[in-house]
Structure 1
Amino acid sequence: MPDEAIFQRRFQQVSRNIDDFIRGKPRQVHLALVCLFAQGHLLIEDVPGVAKTSLAKAIAQSVAGTTVKRIQFTPDLLPSDVTGVHVFDQAGGRFEFRQGPAFANILLGDEINRASPKTQSALLEVMAERQVTVDGEPRPVPFPFLCIATQNPLEHQGTFALPEAQLDRFMMRITIGYPAGLDEEVAVIADGIARRTPEELRSVMELDDLRLMIQAVQELHVSPELQRYVATITRATRNHPDVKLGVSPRGSIALANAAQAYAISMGRSFVTADDVKSVATPVLNHRLLLTAEARIQKQSAEEIVEEILASAPVPRAPGRV
């Protein structure tokens, strides 16, 4: 199993590989990889044309040996198009199960909120339990299983809001945004003229390496003080006057797991409060349901998370072991 220095070096290698295609977005790439190694699911939300799908493809392309499937979510997509279905084999005289795209190491769900709520719900079980139940029979999906989904803002036509239960299964929600500066946009245009695609990226990691790094994240030390710090933050969301529905215990676990991956990506063998703060907004922002009054006043979930982080008492010691 890789130690912290080896993990950090491999992490940076994958990050640089993706940065070579996703121009000028190092923070977003870092968070996406933290989500990957924490074995969480990633939701990328932004306007069309800012490389949401390209980021998902670049992550998948960087790891050799993975099974990668893609679903283009549309209003007429059926749940069986995601999970799979039994079909009758005339030659054998029996029904056989044909796996859907959910049976993959990395599932790319493009424009997930263009599918109906019924089809969106087909992902609930596999995202939470890493298995699919068809006709009463549970079937495990490959390890690791990671869902990277993109969605357009809800004000865009033809979209269906993801239910709270679906959103809660995503470890992080991030946005990419437009290129930060003129030089970055010029580089994007040059890549487009050259017809560069994410599929041209080289693989810099094997599937076995990914599994070992996921295990290393799971075993990283989180002190009782930091666990209490995480609980303090998430519990504060449930008591905030502008929040109708706060963060669930699943969200608390996701925040701790993401902090583990962030800490080891920085070369540390333990989690600090700064690690928690670094991932708190993308882990928690999509889990908050604001009150009607807060929405009218254009209050954002991100602002509430930042407010809670500023007021939560920080543990004195990181809890090194």
Structure 2
Amino acid sequence: MRNELTSLLNKYEERIIGQNKNLKLLLSAILAGGHVLIEGVPGTGKTQMVRTLSNLLGGSFNRIQFTPDLLPSDITGSTIFNMKESSFQMLKGPIFTNILLADEINRTPAKTQAALLEAMEENQVTIQGETYPLADVFFVVATQNPIEFEGTYPLPEAQQDRFLFKLQIDFPTFGEETTVLKQVLDSEYDMESEEKVIDMDMFLTIRNEIEQVILSDEIMDYIMKIVRKTRDSEAIRFGASTRAAISIGKSARAWAYISGRDYVTPDDIKMVARPGLRHRIQLSPHVELEGATIDQIIQELVGSVPVPR
């Protein structure tokens, strides 16, 4: 199975230029059964990144453009009365898919944002008192713009904590950006017709294999020391929850599997710690005034925890 996964990642990196680390993290997240929040300025390929992954996995894909007037039923679906059959009929919303892109999630009010909570946590939705299961492979990728806050509704901490990772998309290098420009203008690639590399059945088999990746007691202790350090640090106002430790452990297993190993190393933990923690902690006011970033504090914090031998 690892050969197919390596082939998928290679094709993914060919199509999305300059984001190799984020692509591997995104793939790790879906293999770990988690969801991802992507933050980046418009035009950096966030939508294409998710759509291409869906094509390579052979899964169904839906995109919702979040706006202030979007209703919860626009996401989950609703029931209507069928006069011909004299019965109520359920119309499924776009959430019934394998990969859901919640574009600009912070542009819709909290009531609509909350429509995703049950789906992300319990893999089901409730419509008019009836509960409907979602697909075995269900993956939410939400995007938000980090530079425009007018008319937005910041995600509450409880909803941010539902995301396994928060990825930050930066601009590619000059050479990488030039390659993207040539590909698009020369029409070298047809992104929409990208052939799948693995199917959903194989994907579920790989996910089961990842659960067998060895996470030793020493590595678990290392994870807990990092998470608990976020609660003791004076630089952090609110530390990470137990869910953060679980997320780091699950994603580290997936990262190790993609890297060709059946065991997790401390380097795997270091790799997933930043995207796994950056949306789960809040810096103290005096640290923010000094100009420190969350990523800098996480890096210092992880570096201060002794590495297991």
Within the alignment, does 1:15 sit opposite 2:9 as a pair? Answer: yes
Corresponding residue for 2:82?
A: 89
Corresponding residue for 2:36?
A: 42
Tell me if structure 2 keeps the 8 A contact 1:125–1:132: yes
Within the alignment, does 1:235 sit opposite 2:228 as a pair? Answer: yes
Q: In the alignment, which of 68, 71, 87 is matched to residue 78 of structure 1?
A: 71
1:158 CA drift (Å): 3.0
Q: In the alignment, which of 174, 184, 189 is matched to residue 181 of structure 2?
A: 189
Within the alignment, does 1:204 sit opposite 2:161 as a pair? Answer: no
Corresponding residue for 1:125?
A: 118
1:93 CA drift (Å): 0.8
1:10 CA drift (Å): 2.2
Q: In the alignment, which of 286, 294, 297 is matched to residue 293 of structure 1?
A: 286
Within the alignment, does 1:267 sit opposite 2:260 as a pair? Answer: yes
- TM-score w.r.t. length of structure 2: 0.96
RMSD of the TM alignment (CA)?
A: 1.4
Tell me if structure 1 keeps the 8 A contact 2:51–2:61: no
Tell me if structure 2 keeps the 8 A contact 1:44–1:174: yes
Query: Taking structure 1 as reference, are residues 291 and 155 closer, same or farther at Cα in structure 2, changes over 3 Å only?
Result: farther
Within the alignment, does 1:63 sit opposite 2:57 as a pair? Answer: yes
Tell me if structure 2 keeps the 8 A contact 1:17–1:201: no
Q: In the alignment, which of 144, 159, 172 is matched to residue 166 of structure 1?
A: 159
Tell me if structure 2 keeps the 8 A contact 1:37–1:261: yes
Tell me if structure 2 keeps the 8 A contact 1:154–1:160: no
Rounded to whole Å, the distance in 1 between the matches of 2:100 and 2:299 is 31
Within the alignment, does 1:28 sit opposite 2:30 as a pair? Answer: no
Rounded to whole Å, the distance in 1 between the matches of 2:197 and 2:89 is 37
1:214 CA drift (Å): 1.1
Tell me if structure 1 keeps the 8 A contact 2:104–2:142: yes
Rounded to whole Å, the distance in 1 between the matches of 2:146 and 2:139 is 22
> 249-258 or 35-44, which moves further after superposition?
35-44
Tell me if structure 2 keeps the 8 A contact 1:242–1:294: yes
1:218 CA drift (Å): 1.7
Provide the secondary structure at the position in 2 that maps to 1:221.
coil
Structure 1, residues 109-158: CA drift from partner, whole Å, max 9, x if none?
11111111111111011101111112222221010111112111154433
Tell me if structure 2 keeps the 8 A contact 1:230–1:276: yes
Structure 1, residues 274-309: CA drift from partner, whole Å, max 9, x if none?
111111111111111122222222221111111111
Tell me if structure 2 keeps the 8 A contact 1:152–1:159: no
1:197 CA drift (Å): 5.0
Rounded to whole Å, the distance in 1 between the matches of 2:75 and 2:196 is 27
Corresponding residue for 1:99?
A: 92
Task: Tell me the number of residue pairs that the alignment of Structure 1 and Structure 2 aligns.
Answer: 308
Rounded to whole Å, the distance in 1 between the matches of 2:93 and 2:83 is 21
Rounded to whole Å, the distance in 1 between the matches of 2:190 and 2:143 is 18
Provide the secondary structure at the position in 2 that maps to 1:62.
helix
Spell out the pairing of 1:243-254 with structure 2 (5 A cutoff). Answer: 243-254=236-247
Question: Which letter does structure 2 place at the counterpart of 1:193?
Answer: L
Rounded to whole Å, the distance in 2 between the matches of 1:257 and 1:266 is 14
Q: Give ranges in structure 2 of 5+ residues lacking alignment.
A: none
Structure 1, residues 192-226: CA drift from partner, whole Å, max 9, x if none?
21354531322111111111111111221211111
> 113-122 or 45-54, which moves further after superposition?
113-122
- TM-score w.r.t. length of structure 1: 0.92
Q: In the alignment, which of 104, 109, 114 is matched to residue 111 of structure 1?
A: 104
> 185-194 or 55-64, which moves further after superposition?
185-194
Corresponding residue for 1:148?
A: 141
Corresponding residue for 2:47?
A: 53
Question: Which letter does structure 1 place at the counterpart of 2:78?
Answer: V
Within the alignment, does 1:177 sit opposite 2:163 as a pair? Answer: no
